[in-house]
Amino acid sequence: MRGGTLDHTCPNCDAVLKFNPHGQNWVCEYCKGQFTKEQIEASEAKKGHVLNETAEPVKMEKNAEGMDVYSCPNCGAQIVADENTTATFCVYCKSTAILKNKLIGEFNPVSVIPFYKTKEDAIEAFKSIGKGKPFMPKEFSDKKNIGEMKGVYIPFWLYDYHVNGFLEAEGRKVSTWRSGDYIYTKTDTYAVYRDAQMDYHRIPVDGSTHFDDDMMNSIEPFDYQGLVDFSHSYLSGFLAEKYDVSSEDAQKDAETRARNSTTNALRDSIVGYSEVDIRNANHQLQSTKSDYVLLPVWMLNIKYKDKIYMFAMNGQTGKMIGDIPIDKNKVIRYWFILFIATFVISLIIWWIGGIL
Average per-residue pLDDT for the chain: 83
Model confidence pTM above 0.85: no
Residue 165 has pLDDT above 70, yes or no: yes
Three-class SS state of 274 = coil
* Average pLDDT value for residue range 203-232: 89
* Average pLDDT value for residue range 216-245: 88
pLDDT at res. 295: 95
Measured in degrees and rounded to the nearest 5, phi and psi for residue 210 equal -75, -20
According to DSSP, the β-strands at 85-89 and 239-241 are: antiparallel
pLDDT at res. 315: 95
pLDDT at res. 18: 84
Q: Which residues are registered as beta bridge partners of 184? A: 177
* Average pLDDT value for residue range 349-355: 71
114, 26 Cβ separation under 8 angstroms: no
Residues in Cβ contact with 306 at an 8 Å cutoff, skipping those fewer than 6 apart:
none
7, 51 Cβ separation under 8 angstroms: no
78, 64 Cβ separation under 8 angstroms: no
Residue 3 has pLDDT above 50, yes or no: no
Specify the higher pLDDT residue, 214 or 161.
161
Least confident span in 144-153, 241-250, 274-283, 335-344: 335-344
Three-class SS state of 36 = coil
Specify the higher pLDDT residue, 164 or 323.
164
Residue 178 has pLDDT above 70, yes or no: yes
Q: How confident is the model at residue 94 (pLDDT cuts 50, 70, 90)?
A: low
Measured in degrees and rounded to the nearest 5, phi and psi for residue 84 equal -100, -5
Question: How many other CB atoms are there within 10 angstroms of residue 297's CB atom?
Answer: 27
Instruction: Compute and round to an integer the Cα radius of gyration of the chain.
Output: 29
pLDDT at res. 57: 43
Q: How confident is the model at residue 297 (pLDDT cuts 50, 70, 90)?
A: very high
CA triplet 336, 337, 342: central angle to 5 degrees? Answer: 100
Residue 213 has pLDDT above 90, yes or no: no
pLDDT at res. 56: 43
Least confident span in 68-77, 97-106, 181-190, 322-331: 68-77
pLDDT at res. 321: 92
Sketch the domain layout of the chain as residue ranges. Answer: 1-108, 151-325
pLDDT at res. 331: 80
* Average pLDDT value for residue range 82-109: 64
Least confident span in 74-83, 130-139, 316-325, 336-345: 74-83
Of the chain, the percentage scoring pLDDT greater than 70 comes to 80
